Homo-oligomer: A and B are copies of this chain.
Amino acid sequence: MKKEYKIGDKATYSRHFHAEDVEVFSRISDDDNPIHLDEDFAAASVFGRRVVHGIFTVSMFSKIFGTIYPGNGGIYLSQNTKFFRPVYVGDHVTAEVELLDLHPEKRIGTFATKCFNAAGELVVDGEAKIKLP
């Protein structure tokens, strides 16, 4: 079955960022900045609490594009992101992608990519291009 793509199509994915997830991400990325790992350090920082690595938050778009929309067979061409607000360890975050534009011959989709925290505040904003299957 050939998938139909329509401008305005949306897909979402929600998750918690548990302390253990952030510790594992620190290990595999070798980014052991204490703002992510050390409660006392984070408490004395401008953030006041441990924050999730920005790029770990961005992985929610990879999850959507790779497994939900378009899923299997898409190719990630680009991802632009602005980090508007911190995501704290323990936060529940919802990622949303929306198809803004579609190049029919090249089959390249341009998506708005946003993440919201549990209070509904925009934490990550950006745009991605995906070669559709």
Number of chain copies forming the complex: 2
Given contacts A77-B82, A79-B81, A81-B79, contact A31 B59 (CB under 8 A): yes
Q: How many residues of A contact B (CB 8 A)?
A: 40
Closest B residue, CB atoms, query A24: B28
Q: Interface 1/0s, chain A 55-85, versus B by CB < 8 A?
A: 1101111110011000111011111111100
Query: Would you call A31 and B66 a contact (CB within 8 A)?
Result: yes
Most chain B CB within a 10 A radius of its CB, from A28, A56, A78: A28
Given contacts A28-B21, A55-B55, contact A33 B67 (CB under 8 A): yes
Would you give the shortest CB distance from A99 to chain B, in whole angstroms?
A: 19
Would you give the shortest CB distance from A21 to chain B, in whole angstroms?
A: 5
Q: Which residues of B contact A55 (CB under 8 A)?
A: 55, 58-59, 61-62, 79
Query: Would you call B25 and A28 a contact (CB within 8 A)?
Result: yes
Q: Which A residues have a C-beta under 8 Å from some C-beta of B?
A: 13, 15, 21, 24-25, 28-36, 45-46, 53-56, 58-63, 66-67, 71-73, 75-83
